Structure 1
Amino acid sequence: MELLKRQSPGRLIVLGFAGVILLGTFLLMMPVSVREGQQVSFINALFTSTSAVCVTGLIAIDTADHFTVFGRTIVALLIQIGGLGVTSVGVGLILLTGKRVGMKGRLMVKEAMNVGSLKGMVRLVKAVLLMTLCFEAAGAALSFLVFVQDYPPVQALGISVFHAVAAFNNSGFDILGGLRNLIPYQNDILLNLTTSGLIIFGGLGFLVILDIGRKRSFKKLCLHSKVVITMSVILLTAGTLLLKATEDISWLGAFFQSVSARTAGFSSYPIGEFTNAGLFVLIILMFIGASPGSTGGGIKTSTFFALVQATKSAATNQHCSAFHRKLPYEVLSKAFIITFLSMLVVCTGTFFLCILEPEYTFVQILFEITSAFGTVGLSTGITPELGDAGKYIVILTMFIGRLGPLTIASIWSFRPAAAARYSEESITIG
């Protein structure tokens, strides 16, 4: 216990996620979790648990076909814990017992939710938990109106609750069976819009939603909220138009897949039948992902925005600014570092998977790894066919994608920054 107290918040968060994943793995392997006549190996249980905790949605085995109601409940709980974050759930449990949250717990919440200040951490966690409950309850109620038409009421309720949890937490799991995802409901307007709404709000970030609730005017919002909302609208619009132009799908389908690629992973059309152009559009959307402090992954909308603004300022020889505010150098530097590390993770994972699975095309493998890194869950259909070594590559990629490459890199920092400074000398760039 004393050893844990000495660890940095980043390390504790990583250990927390790893611990929940291992616990989920063993729970999913229990006989009470597995349907009669089915078998769940350790690698498939680990893959499912990692995908759930990392709110991804990639599946090696179909959730409905292999797991009982108890097993599917475990998956839903893992998705909820992964979406909210192990730290937020832990603080919530401490609050329920009436105990005081210590400084270490507040630091971990600050680190996990990417907040700039320790002020109001407990209030923030309470607001996040209440917000999540409200969105998921509303989503479950609306989804029930659709599913009750095809399933008995009790089963429809279970599917609706599971779907609402998965959608708001940007995890593309479904329990409809047969690896169908939402393809049977590709023309259902209510379910498509309900799911899209849950994904969008879950991907905006809790701080942005709270800011919108307080200010209720775009002009009054903080810079971060303006950037997130602007980029979300641009990416959703561009994604919809490009997918409609490259694929033979409806406008509803194009919009839904554009939303889902930011990082939910639900599919209303067979992704494996998309053209290379359509898959490339989805790869870009998946890599950018959702927004900081949300349930989604990717390099984040604000990071991409900072890259664009920095490039624009370099080309025009102007200050890097947005909405009449100058962006700090530290923000731009962090954006480039995160993007570089993320590209390194995707390239490395793609390289090794190309070696391990030579029967698949480069686009299929790049799509799979990008989906894993962005914690999206979309697949061209190759996930269940991967060998054990390939699955471990995807598992590691999902884990890094959920926690962020910068967080993973920081856990190896054992020493404080050196006080000595070297003299400066320039090098030629470009």
Structure 2
Amino acid sequence: MKLIEKIKPGRIIVLGFLIVIILGALLLKLPISINEGVDVSFVDALFTSTSAVCVTGLIAIDTADTFTVFGRSIVALLIQVGGLGVTSVGVGFILLLGKRIGIKERTLIKESMNLDTMKGLVRLVKAVLAVTLTFEFIGVILSYIVFSQDYKPLDALGISIFHSIAAFNNSGFDILGGFQNLIQYKNDVLLNLTTCGLIIFGGLGFLVIKEILVKKSFKKFSLHTKIVLTMTTLLLIVGTVLLKLTEDISWLGAFFFSTSARTAGFSTYSLSNFTNSGLFVLVILMFIGASPGSTGGGIKTTTLFTLYKSIYSTSTNKHCSAFKRTIPTSVVFKAFNLTILALLVVCMGTFVISIIEPNYTFMQLLFEVTSAFGTVGLSTGITPGLNDLSKIIISLIMFIGRLGPMTIATIWSFKEASSAYYSEETVIIG
């Protein structure tokens, strides 16, 4: 116990995710989890567990065709734990047992949710759990209306529960079989809009949802919420228009992909038929991702907004501000650092896998790696054909994407920053 108290919160969070992933892989390897006559290697079980906990949705083996009801339930549970965060789930159990939340637990919550204060953390965790269950319950009801038309009542209920959990947690898993995802429902307006609604709210972040429910006025929202809502709306519109211009798909399909590409990973059209321009639009959306404190990945909408504002303010010799508020310099530095680290992960991952997998095109591999980093789950169909080493690398990228490159980078820091520093000297830039 004393050893755990000495470990930094960031390392505990990383360790917690690792333990859940390994435990999930072991559970998925059990005979009770696998359909009769199907063989699952440990690498594929680990890949599936990582994809579920990191709420990604990339699959090397089809979930429905491979796993039993028990196995699918494990996948759904891993998605739920991964979406809420290991820390939030753990705190939820502590609250259910009626025990007090200590300083260590509060610090973990603060770190895992990227908060700048420990005020009201227990209330926040309770709100997160309540919001999650409410949205998922609504999703189950609306999804059941659609799935009950094609499946027996009990099967339709199981599919609806799984789909709602996966959609709200921005994970592109499905249990419809045949690697088809939602292609057969590409013209179903209710399922498309239900899925998009769950993805959007799941990707906004719990703090934003709470502000929307409590304050109910854009003028009263915090700067963070204003940026998230503005960027989410803008990216949905721009993504829809660009995908409609580049691909032969319906407006509903374009809107669905514009929504899904920002970390959800559901498909209503086969991406193997997309042009390079359409795939590149999706790559950009996947790289940007959802918003901080949400179930999604990517560099986040607020990071992109801060980058834009910083560049604009530098070019026009103005203060970096938005909505009549100045953005702190420390936030600008963090945005640039995060983006550079993210680009390094994607570039290095694509380069290494390009060497290992010479049979695939550069765009296919870039798409796969970006999808893994953004914890999206979209694929051009090459995932099952990757060799074990590539799957392990993709798993590592999913892990980095879920926790964030900044979190992974800072866990190696063993000392506090020194207050002493060298004298300044200018450097010529540009």
Distance apart, 1:272 and its partner CA: 1.4
SS of aligned partner of 1:228: helix
Matched, 1:428 2:413: no
Correspondence for 2:35: 35
Q: Single out whichever of 157-166 and 1-10 deviates more from structure 2.
A: 1-10
Q: Tell me the distance in 1 between the aligned counterparts of 2:180 and 2:5.
A: 45
The AA in structure 2 aligned to 1:151 is: Y
Correspondence for 1:409: 409
Correspondence for 1:339: 339
Q: Tell me the distance in 2 between the aligned counterparts of 1:165 and 1:77.
A: 9
Q: Tell me the distance in 1 between the aligned counterparts of 2:427 and 2:39.
A: 59
Correspondence for 1:151: 151
Correspondence for 1:98: 98
Matched, 1:191 2:191: yes
Correspondence for 2:205: 205
Q: Tell me the distance in 1 between the aligned counterparts of 2:166 and 2:359.
A: 32
| 1:383-417 Cα deviation digits (max 9, x unpaired) | 00000011011000000000000000111001111
Distance apart, 1:3 and its partner CA: 1.4
Q: Tell me the distance in 2 between the aligned counterparts of 1:97 and 1:346.
A: 42
Q: Tell me the distance in 2 between the aligned counterparts of 1:392 and 1:302.
A: 30
Q: Tell me the distance in 2 between the aligned counterparts of 1:275 and 1:282.
A: 11
Distance apart, 1:418 and its partner CA: 2.0
Identity across matched positions, percent: 68
Q: How does 1:44-83 map to 2 (within 5 A)?
A: 44-83=44-83
Distance apart, 1:90 and its partner CA: 0.2
Q: Tell me the distance in 2 between the aligned counterparts of 1:247 and 1:410.
A: 41
The AA in structure 1 aligned to 2:193 is: L
Q: Tell me the distance in 2 between the aligned counterparts of 1:46 and 1:63.
A: 13
Q: Tell me the distance in 2 between the aligned counterparts of 1:419 and 1:260.
A: 45
| 1:157-203 Cα deviation digits (max 9, x unpaired) | 00000000000000000000000000000000000000000000000
Q: Tell me the distance in 2 between the aligned counterparts of 1:132 and 1:381.
A: 31
SS of aligned partner of 1:36: coil
Correspondence for 1:322: 322
The AA in structure 2 aligned to 1:145 is: I
Correspondence for 1:244: 244
Correspondence for 1:112: 112
Q: Tell me the distance in 1 between the aligned counterparts of 2:131 and 2:215.
A: 17
Q: Tell me the distance in 1 between the aligned counterparts of 2:2 and 2:180.
A: 48
Correspondence for 2:356: 356
Q: Tell me the distance in 1 between the aligned counterparts of 2:49 and 2:355.
A: 25
Q: Tell me the distance in 2 between the aligned counterparts of 1:258 and 1:87.
A: 30
The AA in structure 2 aligned to 1:368 is: E
The AA in structure 2 aligned to 1:182 is: L
Q: How many residues align?
A: 430
Q: Single out whichever of 409-418 and 69-78 deviates more from structure 2.
A: 409-418
**TM-score, normalised via structure 2 length:** 1.00
Structure 1 unaligned segments of length 5 or more: list them: none
SS of aligned partner of 2:10: helix
Q: Tell me the distance in 2 between the aligned counterparts of 1:5 and 1:244.
A: 53
Q: Tell me the distance in 2 between the aligned counterparts of 1:2 and 1:144.
A: 48
Distance apart, 1:116 and its partner CA: 1.3
Q: Show structure 1 runs of 4+ deviating over 6 A.
A: none
Q: Tell me the distance in 1 between the aligned counterparts of 2:272 and 2:264.
A: 17
Distance apart, 1:420 and its partner CA: 2.3
Correspondence for 1:378: 378
Distance apart, 1:4 and its partner CA: 1.5
The AA in structure 2 aligned to 1:206 is: F
| 1:91-112 Cα deviation digits (max 9, x unpaired) | 0000000000110000000011
Correspondence for 1:284: 284
Q: Tell me the distance in 1 between the aligned counterparts of 2:252 and 2:84.
A: 29
Distance apart, 1:419 and its partner CA: 3.1
Q: How does 1:151-190 map to 2 (within 5 A)?
A: 151-190=151-190
| 1:292-349 Cα deviation digits (max 9, x unpaired) | 0000000000000000000111111111110011110011000000000000000110
Q: Tell me the distance in 1 between the aligned counterparts of 2:3 and 2:358.
A: 44
Q: Tell me the distance in 1 between the aligned counterparts of 2:248 and 2:94.
A: 51
Matched, 1:394 2:394: yes
Distance apart, 1:2 and its partner CA: 1.9
The AA in structure 2 aligned to 1:264 is: A
Matched, 1:259 2:285: no
Q: Tell me the distance in 1 between the aligned counterparts of 2:416 and 2:323.
A: 36
The AA in structure 1 aligned to 2:106 is: R
The AA in structure 2 aligned to 1:93 is: F
The AA in structure 1 aligned to 2:291 is: S
The AA in structure 1 aligned to 2:62 is: D
Correspondence for 1:15: 15
Q: Tell me the distance in 1 between the aligned counterparts of 2:203 and 2:65.
A: 29
The AA in structure 2 aligned to 1:224 is: H
**TM-score, normalised via structure 1 length:** 1.00
CA RMSD across the alignment: 0.5
Q: Tell me the distance in 2 between the aligned counterparts of 1:186 and 1:224.
A: 34
Structure 2 unaligned segments of length 5 or more: list them: none
